[in-house]
Amino acid sequence: MSRLVLVLGDQLSPDLSALCAADKSTDVVVMAEVHGEARTPAHHPQKIALIFAAMRKFATKLEAEGWRVLYAKLGDPANAHSITGELLRRAEETGATSVLATTPGDHRLMRMLDELPLPVSRRPDTRFISTQKEFEEWADGRKELRMEFFYRLMRRKTGILMDGDKPVGGKWNFDHDNRKPAVPDLFRPKPPRFKPDRITREVLDMVGAAFPDHFGTLDGFSWPTTAAEAEAAADHFFTHRLASFGDYQDAMLADDPFLYHSLLSPALNIGLLDPLALCQRAEAEYRAGRAPINAVEGFIRQILGWREYVRRLYMMEGPGYVTRNALAHTRALPALYWGAKTHMSCLSETVRQTRDTAYSHHIQRLMITGNFALLAGVDPAHVHDWYLAVYADAFEWVEAPNTIGMSQFADGGIIASKPYVSSANYIAKMSDYCDGCHYSAQAKTGAKACPFNLLYWHFIDRHEARFKSNRRMGNVLATWRRMEPVRKETILAEADAFLAKLDAGEVV
């Protein structure tokens, strides 16, 4: 009796557990482009195009390897427009009586599969370096689940950047060396662009026509859509950009949004690259003397540390995680996140770049869009929906811990030991956004006062009671308490006036 083998849009890996467990001669692979996924939430058109183009090419590859693949294109008249609808349709069509699946990356789809009126055999997703058991044993009984300690466990487990039982370079973490601002440099190597081939062009046309209302442009689409292209992108990064990755990891430049970042997350998250192989390659660059330890450790920590940690935490915390709101924030997401005009140059640049490329790097996500939403008290569920929709690499298992936990402190401090909030100082130091901004990063009050300066103290004032026992917030709270009462009143009144304008939809 044949089974249906489900391959989702972010499961495009030859070693997918469901494929490994299936039998080519009897089982049938099911893949489907569906509105149910593309509109949950309304994803950036580049992200939809990336997934559909990569799915079509992966399906062709599976067929060439002898698999029978039933592939539904978005425009097929019989398309059931949901993953479960497609499985039921294909079961009827083929007479298959059960489904073999690799556990999906979000709780929503797991539940949908659990509710399918067909037996579903779910295999663990083995495309990670850690296991869920390993994480949960590590987490068991710990008061705090800090990434840094799980990362060390992963270093020891894999032997990556280890000399015997000691970390290479004598330290586990070189983050302190990774805070240099950048200056414009015309000769900085640019990430490679992958010119759309015939299949990608067909998908781009279709996506443009099917989702005209989604935020984001398709022009300039150049994401890798096959494993071979993704390997070429990785190769370019390791050869030309890894060595400076560490120094400029936190820097932001309006006209050079990618700097030395790898841009590998979309390909990695849909399964075109293997995380362990990327870490091993980075280590090889260090061992060969081609990249310094601060760059290589910094890069490896993001994948072996953060990526593994957030995956495991998301799975452990369960479906309720995305609804957490520890700071009880309720403001609606301001229209400027969808491109409405703003005088704040850091936000308008980051949102513009997001619209044009479906990408921004970590510090833009954390310290510009995330920081502003947190300071302004935006409902974390709205912030979560935005991040999940607008980035090509966004899948709930990785996006939600970063947004709900790291960025919005909405999990009450599971991931971050203190909220990632900052005034304009940090943005002025790490970027060139403030040059020529309508506001002044130095002005703390008055018409030109940077909104980040006003909202920073507004946030501290609102949450003083909550953070009074947090040692890492001690200095900030003490500064606020010591400030002249008149000055405090001015800051709070100006911040309130700013928020009122924001809520009224005025240009701020």
Minimum CB separation from ligand SF4 for residue 330, in Å?
A: 23
Q: Which of residues 150-209 bind ligand SF4 (CB under 6 A)?
A: none
Helix (H) or strand (E) holding 109: helix 107-114
Strands 28-32 and 3-6: parallel
Burial of 187 (0-12, 13-18, 19+ CB in 10 A): exposed
The SS3 of residue 102 is strand
The entry of ligand FAD, ligand SF4, ligand DLZ, none near residue 439 (CB within 5 to 8 angstroms by kind) is ligand SF4
Task: Please tell me the distance from the alpha carbon of residue 371 to that of residue 361, in angstroms, as a whole number.
Answer: 14
Indicate whether 384 belongs to the interface with ligand DLZ (CB under 6 A). no
Name the segment binding ligand DLZ (CB under 6 A); options: 31-39, 241-249, 292-300, 429-437. Answer: 31-39
Indicate whether 38 belongs to the interface with ligand DLZ (CB under 6 A). yes
The SS3 of residue 283 is helix
Minimum CB separation from ligand DLZ for residue 389, in Å?
A: 10
Q: Which of residues 34-93 bind ligand FAD (CB under 6 A)?
A: none
90/241 with CB nearer ligand FAD:
241
Question: Which residue in 17, 28, 29, 37 binds ligand DLZ (CB under 6 A)?
Answer: 37
Question: ω into residue 41 within 30 of 0, thus cis?
Answer: yes
Task: Please tell me the distance from the alpha carbon of residue 319 to that of residue 341, in angstroms, as a whole number.
Answer: 35
Indicate whether 373 belongs to the interface with ligand SF4 (CB under 6 A). no
Indicate whether 345 belongs to the interface with ligand SF4 (CB under 6 A). yes
For residue 440, give the DSSP letter. B
Task: Please tell me the distance from the alpha carbon of residue 72 to that of residue 7, in angstroms, as a whole number.
Answer: 12
The entry of ligand SF4, ligand FAD, ligand DLZ, none near residue 43 (CB within 5 to 8 angstroms by kind) is ligand DLZ
Angle at 282 between CA 276 and CA 285, to 5 degrees: 145
Indicate whether 393 belongs to the interface with ligand FAD (CB under 6 A). yes
Indicate whether 336 belongs to the interface with ligand SF4 (CB under 6 A). no
Q: Which two tokens stand for residue 52?
A: 């559909």
Sign of torsion, CA 302 397 235 153? positive
Indicate whether 125 belongs to the interface with ligand DLZ (CB under 6 A). no
Indicate whether 392 belongs to the interface with ligand SF4 (CB under 6 A). no
Indicate whether 337 belongs to the interface with ligand SF4 (CB under 6 A). no
Mark out the alpha helices in 334-463 (DSSP H runs): 345-357, 362-363, 371-376, 380-390, 396-400, 424-430, 451-462
For every residue of 10-77, DSSP letters joined together read T---TT-HHHHHS-TTT-EEEEE--HHHHBTTB--HHHHHHHHHHHHHHHHHHHHTT-EEEEE-TT-T
The entry of ligand DLZ, ligand FAD, ligand SF4, none near residue 322 (CB within 5 to 8 angstroms by kind) is none
Name the segment binding ligand DLZ (CB under 6 A); options: 100-108, 178-186, 478-486, 496-504. Answer: 100-108
Note the residues at the interface with ligand FAD (CB under 6 A): 261-265, 268-269, 299, 302-303, 306-307, 310, 361-362, 365-366, 370, 387, 391, 393-394, 398-399, 402-403, 406-407
Note the residues at the interface with ligand SF4 (CB under 6 A): 344-346, 424, 427-428, 433-434, 437, 439, 441, 450-452
Note the residues at the interface with ligand DLZ (CB under 6 A): 8-10, 32-34, 37-38, 43, 48, 51, 83, 104-106, 109, 395-396
